[in-house]
Amino acid sequence: MSNHQRLEAVRNRLIALLDALNTDWAPIDSSDNVALYLLCGAGLAELHFSGRAWTSQSARDFEATACGVWIDADRKSILPDEIRHAVPAWAGLAVAVQLNVPVQARLTAHGKTVKRELRDAGPGLFLEYVCSHPIRGRVTVRILGNEAPAPGAVKVDNVMGEIVKALQGIEHAQRTIAAASGSEAATPATPTTDLFEDVTLAAKVVVGGPRTPGLSRLVEIAKSKEPAGRKLYLMAQTGLLRPDVSAAELAALLKVTPAAVKKTRWWKTRMATRRQQKAEADASYLRRCRPGQRGRRR
């Protein structure tokens, strides 16, 4: 399966999940948790789940609704904070959370509207929209009142559950920047979290708004067998790279080290051009200063 086919498979999987949702709550299979996380992060869907939370002192059952990026790839979540707000006695205490399955989901009003717009625009922009249009997370918690002894000590906030497990593949890929192997890795039989990680990394370096056509082109370039310098040149030619994109962000997308990016001719030329532009801007400013003012500058 080619990179293009793999990305199309991810698009199809996301669209199929979005098509399956409506404005009524419905349980979601755990195999779709990463796709559900992306739809929720873009504000197209909201989640409803129950769980058990505890501190070192006591435990409570709860249910919650969530929308936006309420938990990230590093497994940091705003859920423990919202639980502390709902249980004043837990203020200042670390909270552990276990989510129950299944998680339920439904379309938001925004998701219902954008779903129609994305259908009109065609599926080619769907993945780019989802990955480059995150919204701030919000969680509403209701305590069910079933208090019980704490199952154990809690040292730090922690969230456990199927969604968190599904995000571990993204977390690992973002933390591990391996040297480029020069050949394409084996392709899994079905789309998995590594495909979403490809697009998530690409979204970090792109300039533009929520609909950034060509994001998948950056992924294709990054996955190609070209040398790192050639890949960077081709990426720059797309016009999608942010002017302030860092070597570390590009390295993560290319699966090389930041040092390898900085050694390329493309990066050195880019840095030289930026230094020249800054020098010219400084010189232009000095020429506009009056002679008396120039002498007082430090």
23-54 pLDDT per residue, tens = 999 998 877 777 888 888 889 999 999 999 99
Higher local confidence (pLDDT), 214 or 152:
152
d(CA 80, CA 231): 42
Higher local confidence (pLDDT), 265 or 285:
265
Picking from 153-162, 169-178, 285-294, which range would have the lowest pLDDT averaged per residue? 169-178
d(CA 48, CA 67): 9
Ramachandran quadrant class, 208 (left: phi over 0; alpha: psi -120 to 50; beta: rest): left
Contact 215, 240 (CB under 8 A): yes
Contact 148, 58 (CB under 8 A): yes
pLDDT, averaged across the chain: 77
258-283 pLDDT per residue, tens = 999 999 999 999 999 888 888 887 77
User: According to the model, what pLDDT value does residue 66 have?
Assistant: 95
User: According to the model, what pLDDT value does residue 50 have?
Assistant: 95
Among 219, 244, 227, 239, residue whose Cα is nearest residue 3: 219
**Within the chain, where are the H helices?**
3-20, 33-41, 79-86, 109-121, 126-131, 162-175, 193-204, 215-223, 228-237, 247-254, 258-262, 265-288, 291-296
d(CA 176, CA 194): 12
Higher local confidence (pLDDT), 287 or 2:
287
Residues 6+ apart with CB under 8 A from 297: 286, 289
- Residue 262 token pair: 């900085």
Cβ atoms within 10 A of the Cβ of 65, count?
A: 17
Listed by start position, the domains of the chain span 3-170
Residues 6+ apart with CB under 8 A from 210: 129, 132, 133
User: According to the model, what pLDDT value does residue 11 have?
Assistant: 73
- Residue 109 token pair: 């009003």
58-99 pLDDT per residue, tens = 999 999 999 988 887 666 789 999 999 999 999 989 999 999
Q: What is the CA radius of gyration of the chain?
A: 23
User: According to the model, what pLDDT value does residue 143 have?
Assistant: 94
User: According to the model, what pLDDT value does residue 284 have?
Assistant: 72
Question: At 122, phi and psi to the nearest 5?
Answer: 100, 155
Q: What is the pTM of this model?
A: 0.61
d(CA 107, CA 115): 9
Higher local confidence (pLDDT), 8 or 147:
147
Contact 41, 120 (CB under 8 A): no
Question: At 164, phi and psi to the nearest 5?
Answer: -65, -40
Name 46's bridge partners. 106
User: According to the model, what pLDDT value does residue 96 have?
Assistant: 93
Higher local confidence (pLDDT), 213 or 171:
213
Residue 161 has pLDDT above 70, yes or no: yes
Contacts 24+ apart (CB under 8 A), 161-165: 161/49, 161/51, 161/97, 161/98, 161/99, 161/100, 161/101, 162/30, 162/33, 162/99, 162/101, 162/103, 163/33, 163/36, 163/37, 163/71, 163/99, 163/103, 164/71, 164/75, 164/99, 165/33
233-246 pLDDT per residue, tens = 988 887 778 888 89
